[in-house]
C-alpha cells in the first residue's frame, strides 16, 4: 500500500488549522537563532544611527536635591550605602527639563566594551527575558532528552 492509497479520515477544521500552524512553525528558525539575529540587527542599527548622528530629545521631571545619609548595613560591611529620606518630595518641587541623548554605536571601541561588560547586568535587570531564556533552555533540554513527547491526535481536538 502506498501513501496515496491510504484514505485520510475526514479532518475537521481545527485539525486542518493545527496542521497549518505546525507547517508554519516548522519553517521558523530556532528561537536562539532568532534572538541572536535580533541582537545582531540591533548592533548594526545602532552603528548606522550613530554614523547619521541621530539624537533624541525628551523631557525629564527632575526631583529637587535631597540630603542622603551614609549607613553601614550587614555584618562587617566596609562600604557605606547611601540612604535617601523615606518621604517623597511634593510634585510642585520637581523641575521639568529637556535632555538630549545621542545614539551610541555598538561597533565602536567603547560600544564593544559596553556589550561585553554589561551583558549579564542587562539580563539581570530585564527579568522577563531572563525567565523566558531559562524556560526555553529547560524545555529544549527536556525535549532533546525525550522527556516531552507530543503526538497530535484527532481525538484531542474533539
The 3-class secondary structure across 118-148, one letter per residue, is: HHHHHHHHCHHHHHHHHHHHHHHHHHHHCCC
Query: Which residue did the predictor score with more confidence, 1 or 138?
Result: 138
- CA-nearest of 108, 100, 123 to 44 is 108
pLDDT of residue 3: 54
pLDDT of residue 158: 47
pLDDT of residue 82: 73
Q: How confident is the model at residue 80 (pLDDT cuts 50, 70, 90)?
A: confident
The position carrying cell 530629545 is: 57
pLDDT of residue 145: 86
Task: Please tell me whether the overall predicted TM-score, pTM, comes out greater than 0.75 for this model.
Answer: no
Q: Which residues contact 152 (CB under 8 A, 6 or more apart)?
A: 18, 22
- String of b and e for 116-150 (b: at least 16 CB within 10 Å)? eeeeeeeeeeeeeeeeeeeeeeeeeeeeeeeeeee
**55 has pLDDT over 70:** yes
**Percent of the chain, pLDDT > 90?**
34
Instruction: Return mean pLDDT, the chain.
Output: 83
Query: In this predicted structure, which of 6-10, 53-57, 86-90, 128-132 has the lowest mean pLDDT?
Result: 6-10
**60 has pLDDT over 50:** yes
Query: Which residue did the predictor score with more confidence, 37 or 4?
Result: 37
Amino acid at each position: 500500500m502506498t501513501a496515496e492509497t491510504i484514505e485520510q479520515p475526514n479532518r475537521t477544521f481545527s485539525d486542518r488549522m493545527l496542521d497549518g500552524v505546525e507547517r508554519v512553525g516548522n519553517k521558523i528558525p530556532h528561537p536562539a537563532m532568532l534572538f541572536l539575529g535580533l541582537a545582531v540587527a540591533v548592533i548594526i542599527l545602532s552603528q548606522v544611527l550613530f554614523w547619521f548622528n541621530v539624537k533624541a530629545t525628551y523631557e525629564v521631571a527632575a526631583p529637587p536635591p535631597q540630603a542622603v545619609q551614609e549607613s553601614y548595613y550587614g555584618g562587617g560591611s566596609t562600604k557605606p550605602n547611601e540612604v535617601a529620606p523615606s518621604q517623597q518630595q511634593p510634585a510642585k518641587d520637581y523641575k521639568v527639563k529637556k535632555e538630549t541623548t545621542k545614539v551610541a554605536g555598538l561597533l565602536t571601541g567603547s560600544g564593544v566594551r559596553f556589550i561585553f561588560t554589561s551583558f549579564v547586568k542587562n539580563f539581570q535587570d530585564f527579568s522577563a527575558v531572563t525567565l523566558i531564556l531559562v524556560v526555553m533552555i529547560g524545555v529544549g533540554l527536556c525535549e532533546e532528552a525525550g522527556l516531552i513527547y507530543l503526538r497530535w491526535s484527532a481525538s484531542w481536538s474533539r
